[in-house]
Amino acid sequence: MQSRKITLWLNILLIVLTACESKSGEVQIPVLYNQVGYITDGTKLALVSPDVDEVVILNDKDEVALRIVPDAALFWELSGDAVRKVNFSSLGKPGEYRMVVNSEEYPFSIADKPYTELSKAALKALYFNRSGMAIDSTHGGKWARSAGHPDTVVYIHTSAADEMRPEGTILSSPLGWYDAGDYNKYVVNSGITTYTMFRALEDFSDYYTSLKIGIPDSRDGVPDLLTETLYNFRWLITMQDPNDGGVYHKLTTKKFENMIMPKDAVRDRYVVAKTTSATLDYAALMAHASKVLKSYGEDYDPLAAEALENAIKAWEWAVLNPDVLYEQPKDIETGAYDDKHINDEWFWAASELYLATGEEQYLDSAKRFYNKPGVPGWIDVRALGVYSLLDNRELISDTAWTNLLTQDFIFLADSLVALSQTAPYGVSIHVFEWGSNAQVANEGMVKLFAHKLTNNPKYLDSALSDLDYLLGRNATGYCFVTGFGKNKVMNIHHRPSAADGVQDPVPGFLVGGPNTVILTDCPDAERSLMPAKSFVDRECSYSTNEIAINWNAPLIYLLGGVDAQLCR
């Protein structure tokens, strides 16, 4: 999987070309709602089509619990349709209900803790994507499988060769998560993913300390979130060249494997090209992890010390090699993650190294590379440095600068909240790029962190609305997390799910979601040209129906934050 940016002008062109078709040619779903459940004391919002003038909610005794007149219809240019909001937040009693719209019934539930099982599944999905480990039936159920890719024999690709490690040198680089629907492992994408997991552990520590997900290496007194995260973290450690501190961009086959099980995918694997972006992402993550691990007792002290030492070595390599950008070798066809603008990586790495060491040289670099943050993604990690700095403001003597960081971050969060409050679908997303669902989840993460800083409930409420979108209140009508919802995604672009012979996909994965970046991955599929509806539940649709670790990570954060703070 690799994110590809869609330009705004293309969205606008598609909207103009298809507006008439969308209004008259596409069937609109009458009711859009959170199919997993609503929180007893939380905001409850559904959407109905413009022809609906009344919504009746029945309880499990067929009694009328509520009658609602929907709000006025609002048109969304990105979906090509209009919807009316139905706010039933006044319904505050747990139970099973049915929403009656034009004589059709739509069941839903209200519960004190409707997301705990979903939260567990989203985290456990990463366990199912472990490289080099068999998934046994005790912990994996019907998704048990044999191990694949031990990665104890990995070759130095010509692009990564040097005098100390010439082409063909064999190294060992085991563990880690498969990046997405493929079987490769990428440092750049693992960087933001692993950081987001650590961030969830720090921001909702009490919640994750008690959350057990059923993994074989679970330990008393250690959060399963930490255990699972370290499985990927320990792989990342191996991607640094110990001779010079540089970090290889990815571990991969030359071409994507077919849709087969891990044990059958036996092509040679290579580490490819050291790059500045991978090395800086590595430095940032290692420095951050060194602080996190120290809080979990002396058993983790050696790993914390190793991580900080590796972070400093990586920074030193980057200083000597400040602009080694990734260029895809001619014989490599897998994901590139080819970021051409890396000031944000410099900022993130400098920020984390300052917080880990207290050395002013790193703070000076962070200030030099700082710019206003945006919603994070693998291609823009500036917000990750801001998260860490704002979470450790007491370590920074320059209060004027920390005030600027706070102001810029709150401006971002406020902008997102303002968009969601006026948007027809009640969400902030306004450009549908590759992995649009991860954009929604990351916007929710920004809002939850703003809530942490300010305790202002508007951020928490808006983040909950983002979760509603992912769980069914979107223009496609799908619940975008596998294994959940009434209208489930079933045919994900994920090699184990495609090849295991089990009808249901591995549960807990967030699929990429609608976008119009690529419309030809499933040539025979009917595909909307409206960005918010352009989704196909087909295995072939890698552009909309693939899964990825960096998409699940913000979902895990979002679910943990909502479950920890809003659910009783």
Active site residues: 537, 546
Q: What is the DSSP letter of 300?
A: G
The torsion angles phi and psi of 105, rounded to 5 degrees, stand at -110, 140
Alpha carbons 352 and 303: distance in angstroms, whole number: 17
Tokens 């062109």 sit on residue: 13
Cβ contact 11:516 at 8 Å = yes
- Is 42:465 a contact under the CB 8 Å cutoff? no
Q: Which long-range contacts (CB under 8 A, 24 or more apart) does 484-488 make?
A: 484/35, 484/36, 484/118, 484/121, 485/35, 485/36, 486/35, 486/107, 487/35
Q: In a 10 Å sphere around its CB, with 0-12 CB exposed, 13-18 middle and 19+ buried, how is residue 341 labelled?
A: exposed
Q: Give the DSSP per-residue string, 77-99.
A: TTTTEEEEEEE-TT--S-EEEEE
Q: In sequence order, what E strands does 233-305 have?
A: 248-252, 270-274
Helices 549-566 and 457-470, axial angle in degrees (round to 10)? 130
Q: How many CA atoms lie within 13 A of 305 on its CB side?
A: 6
Tell me the C-alpha to C-alpha distance, in Å, between residue 101 and each of 208, 424, 528, 557.
Answer: 39, 19, 25, 34
CB atoms within 10 A of CB 424: 20
**Residue of 560, 550, 557, 508 whose CA lies nearest to 194:** 550
Helix (H/G/I), strand (E/B), else coil: 33: coil
Angle, alpha carbons 454-195-322 (nearest 5°): 110
Q: Where are the alpha helices (DSSP H) in 173-223?
A: 187-203, 205-210
Phi, psi of 363 (to 5 degrees): -65, -40
